[in-house]
Amino acid sequence: MENMQAVNSFVAAYLKKKGFKEAEQLLEDLQNKESAPIDFHNDPDLAKFIHHFSQSEDDVAQYQDGYSKLRSWTYSSLDLYKHELLRVLYPVFIHSFMDLVAKGHLQEARTFFNAFHEDHELMHSRDLQKLEGVLSQSHLEEMEFACSLRQNKVNIKICQYSYDLLLQYLHKTQSTAMLGVINEHINFQVTSVEPGSISDDTEVVTLIGSCQDAASLINQKEIHWGLLEDSLEERLEKEGGLLSDSEKTEAENKEGDVDDSKKRSVEGGKQGASTKKLKKDKAVNATAKSARPEAKPTPAAPRVKPELTLPVMSTEVEQSILEDLRNRVQLSSVALPSVSFYTFLNTHNGLNCSSISQDGSLVAGGFSDSSLKVWDMAKLGQQAGSSTLQGENDSTSSEHVAGPNGVKRSYTLFQGHSGPVYSATFSPLGDFILSSSADTTIRLWSTKLNANLVCYKGHNYPVWDVQFSPVGHYFASSSHDRTARIWSMDRIQPLRIMAGHLSDVDCVQWHANCNYIATGSSDRTVRLWDVQSGECVRIFIGHRSMILSLAMSPDGRYMASGDEDGTIMMWDLSSGRCVTPLMGHTSCVWSLAFSCEGTLLASGSADCTVKLWDVTTSTKAPKNEDKSGNPNRLRSLKTLATKSSPVYSLRFSRRNLLFAAGVLSKNV
């Protein structure tokens, strides 16, 4: 113990000398708690090195040298342990860099960065871009990202042997700088499993330790991802008499089951494990049921009560929806949808977003000149005649003549915003449009009256996205001010404010049962929020760049998210884990949409393609095996290339016709 105290005092003195306040604080915490995952203190060798470290000159070359040695050692290490050891390199790299900057060796920091940053470009290019700009101590303090890196330890799961190897190496080579960095910033979670078994887990290395802890805590919260009780689809089944009596009773049994399970889970102190087990039971139940030779959309999902008071639907609307549901085309991997593509022409690079109404009859475009334009496709058809190319000429010429009077345009022009319109959304019935803009407001427009009804002010920065809830009346918005907000049409103040993202909230999407919203952010996470309480209930970590699009499966069980690099990830909402990443797009995924029975996922991208993915294969596999494994399981069914038109939005109609919209651009 004496030895240890000596060490501590040395360290404390050293840290004080160097002005490492945070580290000093940490050390104190460590001393108080005595609960470090690895016992550094009783290791005499280590103490010696720390001793040595405190005495040695803070030689800048040590970082460069030490890192390059560590790097070559890692690359030449045994294959079995190599990938684990490689994980250590990145945190060591960025912290060494930041150490150098913090000590004021800016020139050296830059050369160090340039020498080694290529190793990490593939995995962490976004972070590196941010860090590259850090050129002085003040930047380090100012930059949020750097702060959070400095304050938190990196968690790395590593197997016992690799850990021993690493320590041995560090001891032998006396590379104190590296040892210092590793001690200060990395938190090893040494496990006794085989080295290969923790290879492909995305959560193995998480840069922001506390965030990860919080995320795993949050992800244990219970969520009810089932569909709403008494939904129209359910009613259709009962009404149509599609269910035989035996099945009905079975369904009832199942619902009883669900109630039971809820009770049990409450009793079990909301243990994630128990719910998961129940889910599995249910899944087995569901697969057993789907094995029957019936092809109707059997909702395996449990029913939940709505937490919001839902608007009442008129009977006519209900009838028309029921009619649509009856006439729905069944889609599967062998029955692909028809795709109708709306091409915007002559936008002069000004189109920021587009949106398609539920039945595809209305198309809205938000422009950077603050205008919102809505096309009625039914009218367009009349005007243009049968041939679309002909129509193009017709409409342009007629507009040319009648343009100045503003009488005969092919679209309805909505003007009111004072900044670029970044998003637009149709209400489920198509009678309202919401648009969000850089002028920080959201505006509600009526397509019947062709007028602005309400202006919702609440955000402090540009509103990136706005989405109507599946039942209408409520809507969610997301903004540069790092919040997402829930609104109802009849109030000009938001009902809920969801705060927690570390950067812009770029996109928002409602869950099928309206009890949750999902938000995607530039901090590369997706969060799921409870609408009623406003709490974050899930954090999905795994994307490597800004998230641009989100979609919820109609059964409420899965979520898809697309990012800037073209990666799409499928998430299981109940576990908070990625089912499988979908690779294929080469550029930004602007839009995602699930088919109405949830068998297909459509994705539209800046690489001018619409891709169709088979979702059933992936979602069934984890049910049976309860393990997310082979990433090839979710297969791309079809790539539909457009003619130099990046795909801006996608929408499945209730009858499963896919609508897509894009802008014809010459320089893609």
Report helix, strand or coil for 217.
helix
Applying CB under 8 A, the span of 245-253, 367-375, 466-474, 615-623 interacting with other proteins comes to 367-375
CB crowding 470-494: b at 16 or more within 10 Å, else e? bbbbbbbbbbbbbbbbbbbbeeeeb
Report helix, strand or coil for 114.
helix
* Interface residue with other proteins, options 5, 586, 624, 630 (CB under 8 A): 586
* Interface residue with other proteins, options 70, 648, 651, 653 (CB under 8 A): 648
The angle that helices 245-267 and 272-290 make with each other, rounded to 10 degrees, is 170
* Interface residue with other proteins, options 72, 189, 253, 388 (CB under 8 A): 388
Please give the structure tokens belonging to residue 335.
């029955």
Examine residue 339 and tell whether it contacts other proteins (CB under 8 A): yes
Report helix, strand or coil for 7.
helix
Examine residue 418 and tell whether it contacts other proteins (CB under 8 A): no
Shortest gap between Cβ of 432 and other proteins (angstroms)?
A: 20
Q: Which of residues 531-560 bind other proteins (CB under 8 A)?
A: 546, 548
State which residue, 334 or 449, has the beta carbon closest to other proteins.
334
Examine residue 589 and tell whether it contacts other proteins (CB under 8 A): no
State which residue, 38 or 336, has the beta carbon closest to other proteins.
336
* Interface residue with other proteins, options 124, 150, 480, 511 (CB under 8 A): 480
User: What is the DSSP pairing of strand 362-367 with strand 371-376?
Assistant: antiparallel
State which residue, 195 or 337, has the beta carbon closest to other proteins.
337
- Rounded to whole angstroms, the Cα distance separating 580 from 454 reads 41
CA distance readout (Å), 64 to 111, 140, 479: 9, 20, 41
Applying CB under 8 A, the span of 89-97, 116-124, 343-351, 552-560 interacting with other proteins comes to 343-351
End-to-end CA distance of the chain: 68
User: What is the DSSP pairing of strand 432-437 with strand 636-641?
Assistant: unpaired
Examine residue 635 and tell whether it contacts other proteins (CB under 8 A): no
Examine residue 318 and tell whether it contacts other proteins (CB under 8 A): no
One symbol per residue from 595 to 634: x for binding other proteins (CB under 8 A), - otherwise; what is it?
Answer: -----------xxx-x-x----------------------
Examine residue 660 and tell whether it contacts other proteins (CB under 8 A): yes
Q: How many CB atoms lie within 10 A of CB 43?
A: 16
* Interface residue with other proteins, options 171, 409, 623, 655 (CB under 8 A): 409
Shortest gap between Cβ of 227 and other proteins (angstroms)?
A: 28
Applying CB under 8 A, the span of 57-65, 81-89, 307-315, 332-340 interacting with other proteins comes to 332-340
Q: Which of residues 481-510 bind other proteins (CB under 8 A)?
A: 504, 506
What are the residues facing 351 on neighbouring strands?
Answer: 367
Examine residue 642 and tell whether it contacts other proteins (CB under 8 A): yes
- CA angle (527, 616, 475) in 5-degree steps: 35
State which residue, 70 or 442, has the beta carbon closest to other proteins.
442
Q: Which of residues 431-450 bind other proteins (CB under 8 A)?
A: 438
Applying CB under 8 A, the span of 16-24, 128-136, 207-215, 221-229 interacting with other proteins comes to 128-136
Question: Residues near 552 by Cβ (< 8 Å), separated by ≥ 6?
Answer: 509, 510, 511, 512, 518, 558, 559, 594
Rg over alpha carbons for the chain, rounded to the nearest Å, is 28
* Interface residue with other proteins, options 136, 330, 450, 493 (CB under 8 A): 136
- Rounded to whole angstroms, the Cα distance separating 286 from 280 reads 9
